[in-house]
Structure 1
Amino acid sequence: VCVFFGASEPLIPVLAIPLFIAGIGSMFVSLKPFGAYKRALTATQAALDTPEEPAAWLKLAAVRRLAFLAAGLPAWIAAIAVLFGLHPLPVCLLAFASAVLLYLYRIPALSR
């Protein structure tokens, strides 16, 4: 079944645009986890070459894992919106927005 080329009928087409708007709004969910990630990253950089370094890396990984969930939310909403008839361009925009948000959570080269 190919949902992009009209092989199936959308479930409730009226919900396509509200889901797109919800996907755009879900990008703001990533603001709070990003602040926590930056604090954890700073703490990890401060703990390099100290006995607290392993614990700092574990804390950073836990914060980053939660942030990844928030950053992927626009793409998940886009995947659901496809079932309701959202066109491919807004789906791709939401997926690209998630990719950009996920890129924000990379580990900088100085702390590897």
Structure 2
Amino acid sequence: MHDEAWNTVDRLVEWLDAESPVPPEVARLLRVLKITEEAGEVAEAVHGAFGSNPRKGGSHTWEDVQNELCDVILTGMVALATITPDAREVFAGRLEHVAGRSL
């Protein structure tokens, strides 16, 4: 993954750490749980893009889905960088592993 993206993630982690009102071990847990919250927003956007909720109709676009997916990815990167200082290497290794078994 591009170094600029990881540099931004590092800055976000630093900012979150500085602003967190909870102990570090709780912040770590909350950042991992935040992934689920963001994934729920993807699901909501998909339902909205299909207009599958009769009460809400077409409440979202596929651009909204794209944005929510980006939020999931970014949230995962922040969570990973929160739990390990080697997030870049861990991610690169996992990507290589998945590609090696799949491609």
TM-score range, shorter chain: 0.3 to 0.5
Which gives a bigger RCO, structure 1 or 2 (Cα 8 Å, sep 6+)? Answer: 1
TM-score relative to the length of structure 1: 0.39
Name which one, 1 or 2, has greater alpha-carbon Rg. Answer: 1
TM-score relative to the length of structure 2: 0.42
